[in-house]
């Protein structure tokens, strides 16, 4: 299991300006500010099953532990990063969640089932 911060960005009043600032300014700030981060996944939301989605971007910032996450987010650089996120998110305040992730590798599970049982169950 790993720890991650998931940030959900609502659609901005000027989506083109948001995307430019997000890609050219914000992502480099994330990389520079969060020194314990082990992986970042940046997702552009296309739609939800019901049509339009309330969020345009999702960022997943992975850390080895809750302690390293807390250490990174207690710095002046992290405060500046947060201020930047608020300044470019003109459609509302981004939602941030601290999560514990558990990954299941389905390909590996299928291989294990076949090896142990000789078939899929």
Which domain covers residue 62, as residue numbers?
A: 2-117
Does the pLDDT value for residue 113 go beyond 90? no
Taking a C-beta distance cutoff of 8 angstroms, is the pair 41, 121 a contact?
Answer: no
Strand 39-44 vs strand 2-10: parallel, antiparallel, or unpaired? unpaired
How far apart CA 5 and CA 42 sit, in angstroms, is: 12
How far apart CA 105 and CA 36 sit, in angstroms, is: 25
For residue 89, what is the DSSP state?
-
Phi and psi (nearest 5°) for 102? -125, 125
For residue 53, what is the DSSP state?
-
pLDDT in tens, 17-52: 999 999 999 999 999 999 999 999 999 999 999 988
User: The domain that contains 33 carries what CATH number?
Assistant: 3.30.70.100
Which range among 8-17, 33-42, 110-119 shows the weakest confidence by mean pLDDT?
A: 110-119
Does the pLDDT value for residue 11 go beyond 90? yes
Q: What angle do CA 25, 18, 72 make, to 5 degrees?
A: 45
pLDDT at 120: 60
Count of the separate structural domains present in the chain: 1
State the pTM of this model. Answer: 0.85
- Residue 108's CB is within 10 A of a number of other CB atoms, namely 9
Question: Model confidence at 112, in pLDDT bands (50, 70, 90)?
Answer: confident
pLDDT in tens, 77-104: 999 999 999 999 999 999 999 999 988 8
Question: Model confidence at 119, in pLDDT bands (50, 70, 90)?
Answer: low
Q: How far apart are the first and last CA of the chain?
A: 26
């Amino acid at each position: 299991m790993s720890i991650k911060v998931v940030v959900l960005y609502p659609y901005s009043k000027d989506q083109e300006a948001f995307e430019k600032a997000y890609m050219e300014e914000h992502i480099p700030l994330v990389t520079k500010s969060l020194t314990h981060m082990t992986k970042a996944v940046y997702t552009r939301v296309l739609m939800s099953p019901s049509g339009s989605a309330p969020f345009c971007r999702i960022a997943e910032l992975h850390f080895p532990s809750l302690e390293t996450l807390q250490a990174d987010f207690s710095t002046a650089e992290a405060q500046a990063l947060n201020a930047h996120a608020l300044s470019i998110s003109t459609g509302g305040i981004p939602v941030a969640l601290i999560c514990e992730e558990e990954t299941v590798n389905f390909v590996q599970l299928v291989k294990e089932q076949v090896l142990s049982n000789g078939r899929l169950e």
